[in-house]
Amino acid sequence: MTGRFIAVEGADGTGKSTQARLLAERMGALFTREPGGTPLGERIRDLVLDPSGEPPVDRAEALLMAAARAQHVAEVVEPALSAGRDVVSDRYVASSVAYQGHGRGLGAEAVMAVNRFATNGLQPDLVVLITVDARVAVRRLGEDLDRIERAGDAFQIAVVAAYSEMAAQDPDRWLVVDGNGTVAEVAARVAAAVEGRL
């Protein structure tokens, strides 16, 4: 029996990383994150997100994210699922579609094609999208921003719109959860939504 694979998605400042970790704890699942989750992936994460380093061009950014994901799936996600372990990942392919496909304007289909190759077609059983009001997201982010978080309002608006569109197109796989409120309030909403679907 294979494990269940859940990706937790959301724009910057939605609290999705916290909620992904809490969901994994509640389910007794393996928690992991993207970009990252492996030693190579964490090095790629630093390359892509460090605001003081040399910025990759948009296509390089998309390819680096896909490379980190390929390593993550091969080393972490697939082995855990094959062993019957549930996996909760903070971000997955939808992040690349939203951020690089829409935010960077590279095109959703081009980014999807690269990521289908990177993941060997592995899709999550469930995608949990955490949404918050824009003002809440800005307040939560604070001032210590990584390179992508500094991309500007138009970029973030495109990312949020892309997530909404993906959720609307695949309601059987996607759950949209209101991320406004306390950590505990949102965690309860996420747990109820996931339990209701699984």
User: Where is mean pLDDT largest: 10-19, 31-40, 140-149?
Assistant: 31-40
pLDDT digits (tens, 9 = 90+) for 60-72: 999 999 999 999 9
177 has which bridge partners?
130
Identify the CATH number of the domain in which residue 55 sits: 3.40.50.300
pLDDT digits (tens, 9 = 90+) for 88-98: 999 999 999 99
Report the relative pairing of strands 5-9 and 126-131 from DSSP bridges.
parallel
CB 147 within 8 A of CB 48: yes
What percent of the chain shows pLDDT beyond 70? 93
Type and span of the H or E element at 188: helix 183-197
Our count of domains for the chain comes to 1
The residue among 34 and 1 whose pLDDT is bigger is 34
Domain membership of residue 20 as a residue range: 5-197
Token pair 């390179």 is found at 147
Label residue 146 by pLDDT band (50, 70, 90). Answer: low
pLDDT digits (tens, 9 = 90+) for 23-36: 999 999 999 999 99
Q: Where are the beta strands (DSSP E) in 34-188?
A: 87-90, 126-131, 174-178
Dihedral over Cα of 126, 19, 161, 132: its sign: positive
The answer on pLDDT for 140 being more than 70 is no
Average pLDDT rounded to a whole number, residues 163-169 = 96
User: CA 179, CA 131: separation in Å to the nearest integer?
Assistant: 5
pTM greater than the 0.85 cutoff:
yes
> For the chain, first and last CA: distance in Å?
15
